[in-house]
């Protein structure tokens, strides 16, 4: 027979019908149907002094009411309603609305977006579905790099300007020398001339011209008898003895 192994028969003598959702008495531990599940309905032979306590929740105020087996549930509820029932104490369930479709959501059905922390429904739980107001994913990936402040930006721009350009990119020396038509201003004690190649400062323009020409003059060939003992200066391309090259770079080029 189909479904023969589901459910059980009621143990009450006058019933014996099969119930698919039977109840077990906590006193006599026998199985009964829905109609005979109470102590009185199946004439339970529970031990002397045994009494069952039930709790019902008031639908008006939400308080729990204790009812003994010997009490009348309707009478206890009417007594509670007339004495201590206060509907204002009922905790109202907080309602939420989806930020996209304004659909009402309970606390169980509500989902929270991890980016904008807004309440969303299941249909609009993705960021692209509810027009998320938080930072986009592209900024989240690159957001770890801090932006440079205006002071830092100005310092970096000054550093770029002060980097000396290669010698090959400089114009000829004549472009730095004033023409004969323009009078040469006499240098004052406070004026300082700066080499455009290596940034060395000079007190007058004459020393600056002589120094600048040394950058663009043809390299001096080393003496044929001492080729192995000479090194070429990396700045002015002149040849010096190995012992003199260090002194030359420190004094003439201030390295």
User: Per-domain residue ranges for the chain?
Assistant: 8-89, 94-133, 190-255
SS3 per-residue string spanning 155-180: HHHHHHHHCCCCHHHCCCHHHHCCCC
Q: What is the CATH number of domain 8-89?
A: 4.10.1110
Q: Per-residue confidence at 164, pLDDT binned at 50, 70, 90?
A: low
| Contact partners, residue 158, CB within 8 Å, separation at least 6 | none
87 DSSP 8-state letter: G
pLDDT in tens, 77-106: 888 888 878 887 777 767 788 888 888 887
pLDDT in tens, 114-153: 888 888 888 888 888 888 877 544 444 444 445 555 555 5
Q: For the whole model, what pTM was predicted?
A: 0.24
């Amino acid at each position: 027979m189909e479904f023969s192994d589901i459910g059980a028969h009621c143990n009450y003598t006058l019933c014996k019908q099969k119930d698919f959702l039977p109840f077990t008495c906590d006193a006599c531990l026998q199985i009964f149907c829905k109609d005979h599940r109470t102590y009185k309905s199946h004439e339970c032979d529970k031990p002397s002094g045994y009494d069952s306590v039930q709790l019902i929740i008031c639908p008006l105020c939400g308080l729990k009411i204790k009812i003994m087996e010997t009490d009348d549930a309707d009478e206890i509820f009417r007594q509670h309603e007339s004495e201590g029932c206060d509907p204002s104490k009922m905790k109202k369930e907080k309602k939420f609305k989806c930020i996209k479709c304004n659909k009402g959501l309970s606390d169980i059905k509500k989902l929270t977006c991890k980016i904008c922390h807004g309440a969303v429904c299941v249909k609009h739980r993705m960021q692209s579905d509810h027009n998320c107001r938080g930072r986009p994913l592209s900024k989240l990936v690159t957001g770890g790099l801090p932006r440079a402040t205006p002071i830092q930006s100005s310092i970096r721009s000054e550093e770029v300007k002060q980097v000396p350009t290669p010698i090959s990119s400089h114009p000829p020396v004549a472009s730095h020398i004033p023409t004969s038509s323009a009078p040469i201003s006499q240098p004052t004690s406070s004026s300082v001339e700066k080499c455009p190649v290596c940034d060395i400062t000079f007190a007058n323009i004459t020393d600056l011209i002589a120094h600048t020409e040394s950058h663009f003059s043809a390299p001096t060939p080393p003496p044929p008898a001492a080729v192995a003992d000479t090194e070429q200066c990396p700045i002015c391309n002149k040849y010096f003895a190995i012992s003199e090259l260090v002194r030359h770079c420190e004094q003439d080029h201030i390295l």
